[in-house]
Structure 1
Amino acid sequence: MKAIFLGTGTSQGVPVIGCTCEVCNSLDFRNKRFRSSIYFDLGDLSLVVDTGPDFRSQILSAGINHLDAVLFTHEHKDHTAGLDDIRPFNFAQKKDMPIFARKPVLEQIKREFAYVFSSKKYPGVPQIEPVEITDQPFTIQGHTITPIPVLHYKLPVLGFRIGDFTYITDTNFIPDESKELIKGSKVIVLNALQKESHISHFTLNEAIEMAKELGAEKTYFTHISHKLGLHSEVEKDLPPGIALAYDGLEVTLP
């Protein structure tokens, strides 16, 4: 398995429009963050989790030429807005793109992209196959995907476990039942928005404590705000086995 972090930023991305802070003005490429998304290459299956507003640029930057399916964590715009850009995969692969999501997420996508689902389609619109999932494991081309239910304030969000890799973004509460589904993962990804308290995201310290509790060999933090600080400075204070992810980071598991 190979995973590529396509984006590790929060809903505004980094740099933030109009901001002159040291993070937004940084020349370190690790402080340039697209909206959060990740790509999985399982050899015979390629997946993307979430298609935010930067989806086109992310796919081009990573050199991804084939995509079998899209998984959605939840319905917020910074995780769905780029769905139209699956069209080149439709054309190249000559088939509809399966998108896997909970019912409320699919309903939101159908509202936001009504032209895709219209009975009278404009030529060239994305060809999408919606697949409703629940909190139960499901398979794609023989590979088992385990949803990890979490809460984003009061909004239900799904993380996903694929083999020994668990990806979770946009949460500040992981139920005990979900922790049991995560434990045993070799790599875990958690959101760590900023150092100050937030209503719907883990702070840096909260993410560190959760990482310690879950006990993976390696934990990466994503969905990072410019308020967290410079990548190079934050990394110095992280415990062993914990690191900040950055756009383009590749992680490989046997």
Structure 2
Amino acid sequence: MEVTLLGTGDTTGTPTPSCKCETCQRARERGVERSRFSVHVHNDRTGESLLVDASPDFRSQFLSNDVDLPDAIVISHIHFDHLDGLGNAYRLLEDVPVFAADEVDPATGESVAETVGDKYDYLDAITVEPRSPFEPFETCGFEVTLVPVEHPPLVCYGLHIEDPETGATLALSGDSNYAIDDASRDVLRNPDLFFADGIVPAAYCEYHPAGGDHADADGTYRTFGTKHMTVEGARRLADDLDADDYRLVHLSHYIPADEAFDDDMAVDGERFEL
């Protein structure tokens, strides 16, 4: 299993356009990109590739990285920075299944799969394939499981991806706060590699209208507002799940420059062999 981080940033990415903050300036100096989130998972045995989330930066990500176009796609939720790259399927892809959860979201009245089907009904190149959370399915030679996480107000899913031949495992928290329940944690547990959503340090919760949540015994918030983990929360979740290795993703440019490029903070183009 070859895993490539195509996009490791939040909704504005880093560097953020027109931003002169120290973190964005440092990213420009280093030649570092954190574009909108997407992960490429290649199966060395079958020669097939799975794309996790379709970033709006789809075109530039595939031009910048020496990876194949996807044979299948999984969509975790319907926020634009994870979904809107599907439009790139037009004249690029052919007969690609797009897997998404089939449970109805009370906030929208339809499932992620139905939303994808409605929004991209003009794309003959893709076929939406609804799948139930916690029920593994096979694609690209991998066993994939959608795992419910907490990203209010919308439903959202993490992922567990396993190569049944080699036993290699990749887990993704999805866009989530720290309150992932035990059933989901059990599926995500003990991965070879874990990607955890950590958007800002806990100290920044004072600037969020909703503050922070899920404080630890020392009072450090593990959730920023309601939707995403703090850097501290994401690191704690990686530890909770006994991940062999991990990277923080969905990173914002609000992380102070002196911390923003720590070894566990992902940048676009990182590649892992599992």
1:169 & 1:227 partners in 2: Cα distance?
20
Question: What's 1:213 paired with?
Answer: 240
TM-score by length of 1: 0.85
Say if 2:175 and 2:227, in contact at 8 Å, map to a contact too: yes
Question: What's 2:96 paired with?
Answer: 97
1:247 & 1:66 partners in 2: Cα distance?
17
Choose the corresponding residue for 2:31, options 29, 32, 37: 29
Say if 2:199 and 2:250, in contact at 8 Å, map to a contact too: yes
Question: What's 1:122 paired with?
Answer: none
1:29 & 1:229 partners in 2: Cα distance?
17
RMSD: 1.8
Please state whether the residue corresponding to 1:207 is helix, strand or coil: helix
Deviation, 1:141, is: 4.6
Whether 1:110 and 2:117 are equivalent positions in the alignment is: yes
Question: What's 2:105 paired with?
Answer: none
Sequence identity (%): 30
TM-score by length of 2: 0.80
1:4 & 1:168 partners in 2: Cα distance?
16
Q: Which has the higher helix share?
A: 1
Question: What's 2:220 paired with?
Answer: none
1:141 & 1:210 partners in 2: Cα distance?
28
- The aligned runs of 1:1-254 (5 Å cut-off) are 1-26=1-26, 27-30=29-32, 32-43=33-44, 44=46, 45-90=48-93, 95-103=94-102, 104-116=111-123, 126-135=124-133, 136-163=135-162, 164-172=169-177, 173-195=179-201, 196-197=204-205, 198=224, 199-230=226-257, 233-234=259-260, 236=262, 243-253=264-274
One-letter identity of the residue aligned with 1:110: G
2:269 & 2:140 partners in 1: Cα distance?
26
1:207 & 1:18 partners in 2: Cα distance?
28
Residues 160-216 of structure 1, C-alpha deviation per residue, up to 9 Å, x if partnerless?
111211122310031111111111212111011001232200001111211211111
2:229 & 2:78 partners in 1: Cα distance?
19
